[in-house]
């Protein structure tokens, strides 16, 4: 009999749930919280909502919002120093994957010391982390429920993948209303990230029945609601379902890990200041084509989850229709079609391929892959 593990935080989901941040921190024993965010979230007004909730709960607080796209090691170390100086005892992350990943990384340093580079890889964290409450404002990275933190090594120009069950937050608060302040491009980019999470987790070598059901639901919801979510900021049915899709995709990939799409995307994000979801949207169909022969049955399942009628088709035929659907979806919502559109330099392909090959996410890719294979995938996507 196989043994499966599935880790997740307490989840609070629903409109207005963001107002429960302060009370949630109190339940974890916090008295002085450190709030990590970014300028966009502050401008949208969500940081102020979290601060107000903390004040109402009688909590002391400090804020740190110097977080950028593809967050950097220096940001983590600056935040950790501020956390210690202010004698905080819990951490709140509010924003997209960048803010939440930085919040997790700060939690590592304040509890374990050293430099964030010391924790790259799997299970390098030795001491328990302070209480963590995470509030995503995109749909999204899934970082609010995952055991990952992705931080840019500025000197090495590569993204570090940090994996540990210690990074699973104590409480994740998912409020679909926060999605109403995101523009169409960010909605499209983060939504395709959700789809890539669901697909990669479903075909991962580490997938289980526990992760498959989450991935299936996420893929199905993206197929139904990403287009209308991109079309309208005020479509709350679409926002609610995309928030749920992001949550379930996050639960799935946190436990099943990912694959070549994310390994390659991390390599690009280490060199170029581009949105992670944009890169995934370009790479996903090419990696699906490469991986199809590894598990045709699961790719045929994905076609069904996407709403494709697969009756009378072989698994391979159905899988190819799933790939075509992903390409069409990206076109419909205005996502980039080529890496060259984002300023990715073709001369860096060999270097990025080596970095991708060594990424932790590549371990669970369903098909064996060589550096030559990765280079060819990059060239196709360029």
The pLDDT, as a whole number, for residue 1 is: 61
The pairing of strands 10-13 and 121-122 is unpaired
Contact between 347 and 259 under an 8 Å Cβ cutoff? The reply is no
Domain boundaries, the chain: 10-178, 185-381
Q: What are the Cα distances from residue 333, in Å, to 8, 44, 190, 319, 341? A: 31, 23, 12, 22, 16
pLDDT beneath 50, residues of the chain: none
d(CA 97, CA 149): 9
The count of residues in the chain is: 382
The full DSSP string for 152-206 is EETTTTEEEEEE-GGGS-SEEEE-GGGGGGS-HHHHHHHHHHHHHHHHHHHH-TT
Architecture of domain 185-381: Up-down Bundle (1.20)
Q: Return the SS3 of 234.
A: coil
- Closest CA relative to residue 17, chosen from 48, 49, 44, 55: 49
Smallest Cα–Cα separation from 162: which of 203, 200, 194, 115?
Answer: 115
**Whole-number pLDDT of residue 143:** 96
Helix axes 73-85, 97-112, angle to 10 degrees: 60
- Model pTM? 0.95
Whether the CB-CB separation of 37 and 67 falls below 8 Å is answered with yes
Residues 6+ apart with CB under 8 A from 88: 32, 33, 34, 62, 110, 130
Q: Span 10-178: which CATH code? A: 3.40.50.1970
Comparing 10-178 with 185-381, is the CATH topology the same? no
Indicate the average pLDDT of the chain.
96
**Per-residue confidence (pLDDT) for residue 11, from 0 to 100:** 98
């Amino acid at each position: 009999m196989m043994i499966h593990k599935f880790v997740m935080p307490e989840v609070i989901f629903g409109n207005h749930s963001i107002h429960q941040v302060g009370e949630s921190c109190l339940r974890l024993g916090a008295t002085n919280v450190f709030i990590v965010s970014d300028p966009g979230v502050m401008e949208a007004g969500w940081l102020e909502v979290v601060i107000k909730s903390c004040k109402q709960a009688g909590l002391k607080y400090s804020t740190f919002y110097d977080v950028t796209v593809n967050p950097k090691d220096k940001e983590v170390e600056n935040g950790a120093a501020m956390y210690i100086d202010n004698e905080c005892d819990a951490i709140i992350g509010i924003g997209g994957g960048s803010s939440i990943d930085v919040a997790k990384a700060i939690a590592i340093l304040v509890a374990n010391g050293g430099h964030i580079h010391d924790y790259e890889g799997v299970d390098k964290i030795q001491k328990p982390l302070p209480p963590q409450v995470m509030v995503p404002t995109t749909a999204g990275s899934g970082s609010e429920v995952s055991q990952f933190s992705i931080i840019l090594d500025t000197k090495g120009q590569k993204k570090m993948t940090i994996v540990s069950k210690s990074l699973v937050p104590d409480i994740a608060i998912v409020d679909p209303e926060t999605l109403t302040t995101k523009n169409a491009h960010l909605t499209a980019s983060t939504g395709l990230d959700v789809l890539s999470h669901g697909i990669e987790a479903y075909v991962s070598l580490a997938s289980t029945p526990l992760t498959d059901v989450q991935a299936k639901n996420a893929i199905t919801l993206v197929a139904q609601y990403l287009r209308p979510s991109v079309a309208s900021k005020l479509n709350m049915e679409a926002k609610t379902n995309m928030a749920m899709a992001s949550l379930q995709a996050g639960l799935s990939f946190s436990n099943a890990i990912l694959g070549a799409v994310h390994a390659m995307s991390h390599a690009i994000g280490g060199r170029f200041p581009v949105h992670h979801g944009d890169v995934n949207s370009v790479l996903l169909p090419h990696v699906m084509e490469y991986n199809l022969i590894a598990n045709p049955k699961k790719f045929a399942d994905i076609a069904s989850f996407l709403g494709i009628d697969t009756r009378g088709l072989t698994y391979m035929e159905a899988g190819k229709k799933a790939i075509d659907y992903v390409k069409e979806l990206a076109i419909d919502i205005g996502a980039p079609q080529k890496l060259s559109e984002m300023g990715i330099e073709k001369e860096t392909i060999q270097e990025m391929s080596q970095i991708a090959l060594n990424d932790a996410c590549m371990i669970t890719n369903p098909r064996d892959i060589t550096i030559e294979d990765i280079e060819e995938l990059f060239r196709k996507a360029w």
